[in-house]
Chains A and B, each alone.
Chain A
């Protein structure tokens, strides 16, 4: 029988992995979602490819994708799909990219085409107007959505336990549960508390930063 504090220590050992996978996926999501959003708004010809990607990754549960890639592709392409960490970040990053693309697309509309036109009026090319004028404002505009997206990633990281081998919070909780006398309540209550602690302070400060900045620049 593990004491509560012993359980907590085991769960805390899972925190670095949960955080690093979630934050890495979030950053990959930015790197994918931001260009895709601009491609969809300004380059209509290839929009349908982006659309298909978004539908696939928003429509299929992550747990299914993780199982498919790890157990389905892993044996045939051991590099890189036999690596649990890679598969986790790969699936969560791509899923987040699909979501974030939608968030940014709304933000681009919100920031307004006039900012693009003003940028081009001073001689900037389309893509440098996007980089210098649109992107900073689009980020500010997106903050409430980005806060929820981060929260979603922290929560979804719990699915990783299905592919095994990564000692994140959920995997640790299940491991504790399987130790006699099989306490099914304490580890999950503790895990729930940990997930909340990891989610809200960051999501909240992101929102607050965004609100302040919005006020400052009148968005």
Chain B
């Protein structure tokens, strides 16, 4: 075993290719991006909005199908035709920026659904595991609430529990705090810190810099569809090699310390 949980090889994805509308330009969101994630890794992707980070993350989970390149989950190539993508997605946790909880289900129902219908666990066991996942992200008071009755921070933590409950090989988080009010981001960040302590393999798109400095083993600066620079948090916080990363860090640090 190589210990590699997920690998992207030259992933390429454009938008608007088949669009009939003339005013929609073809956008290259992901231009031959490669990335390796080993078991227990915590990597953080950051970069300007609209640079294609979310698209890249969705490609990794095969929620968007790449135009070219390969994606491996362990030893399995997901981009080969005929692969059971549903089975593969069951092994990948995904947390959305805009949360996307199932509106018609309670917190418990949201977490339970995949345990029952995908992993086919018996009812009792699914319930137990769902409750354990909800306890882990500290939303036991919301178990029977519907998403519309929760705060954004609670909802996002349920979203994390939903991704976590299946014991996925890796969790991909797409800006999990950027749609939340500032006072609610803290509780979600705390949850992510807990997961980090437990050694959960995570790839996170985020601009929460103090969090990044504390938990990320590697930071990836992503701009215009490409990985521009990769390095440890101390590299980025002190002296990034590229100009673009330097400028971006300057701006973001100014903004968070203001």
Cross-interface CB contact of A136 among B63, B101, B104, cutoff 8 Å: B104
A215 to B147, CA, bound (A): 11
- Tell me whether B100 and A122 are in contact (CB under 8 A): no
- The residue on B at minimum CB distance from A131 is B117
- Tell me whether A124 and B98 are in contact (CB under 8 A): no
- Tell me whether B118 and A121 are in contact (CB under 8 A): no
For the complex, is B90 an interface residue (Cβ under 8 Å from A)?
yes
Question: A132-B117, A216-B146 given as contacts; is B86 within 8 A of A123 (CB)?
Answer: yes
27 contacts across the A-B interface (CB closer than 8 A): A114-B96, A114-B98, A115-B103, A117-B63, A118-B100, A120-B63, A121-B92, A121-B94, A121-B96, A122-B89, A122-B163, A122-B166, A123-B86, A123-B87, A123-B114, A123-B118, A123-B166, A124-B86, A124-B113, A132-B113, A133-B102, A133-B104, A137-B104, A140-B104, A217-B146, A218-B147, A219-B103
B168 to chain A, nearest CB (A): 9
A114 to B179, CA, bound (A): 15
**Chain A interface main SS type:** helix
Q: List CB contacts (< 8 Å) of B88-118 with chain A.
A: 89-92, 94, 96, 98, 100-104, 113-114, 117-118
Cross-chain pair count, CB within 8 angstroms = 71
A124 to B94, CA, bound (A): 13
For the complex, is A83 an interface residue (Cβ under 8 Å from B)?
no
B-contact bits for A5-42, CB 8 A (1 contact / 0 none)? 00000000000000000000000000000000000000
- Tell me whether A128 and B117 are in contact (CB under 8 A): yes
Residues from chain B with Cβ under 8 Å of A218 in the complex: 103, 146-148
For the complex, is B8 an interface residue (Cβ under 8 Å from A)?
no
**Residues of A bordering B, CB below 8 Å:** 114-115, 117-125, 128, 132-133, 136-137, 140, 215-219
For the complex, is B29 an interface residue (Cβ under 8 Å from A)?
no
A117 to B90, CA, bound (A): 13
- Tell me whether B89 and A123 are in contact (CB under 8 A): yes
For the complex, is B162 an interface residue (Cβ under 8 Å from A)?
yes
For the complex, is B170 an interface residue (Cβ under 8 Å from A)?
no
- Tell me whether B113 and A118 are in contact (CB under 8 A): no
- Tell me whether A216 and B148 are in contact (CB under 8 A): yes
Residues from chain A with Cβ under 8 Å of B37 in the complex: none
Residues from chain A with Cβ under 8 Å of B146 in the complex: 216-218
A134 to chain B, nearest CB (A): 10
- Tell me whether B89 and A121 are in contact (CB under 8 A): yes
Residues from chain A with Cβ under 8 Å of B100 in the complex: 114-115, 117-118
Cross-interface CB contact of A122 among B87, B103, B147, B162, cutoff 8 Å: B162
For the complex, is B227 an interface residue (Cβ under 8 Å from A)?
no
A129 to chain B, nearest CB (A): 9
A137 to B148, CA, bound (A): 13
A67 to chain B, nearest CB (A): 43
Residues from chain B with Cβ under 8 Å of A120 in the complex: 63, 86, 89
- The residue on B at minimum CB distance from A218 is B148
A216 to B86, CA, bound (A): 30
- The residue on B at minimum CB distance from A125 is B86
B256 to chain A, nearest CB (A): 29
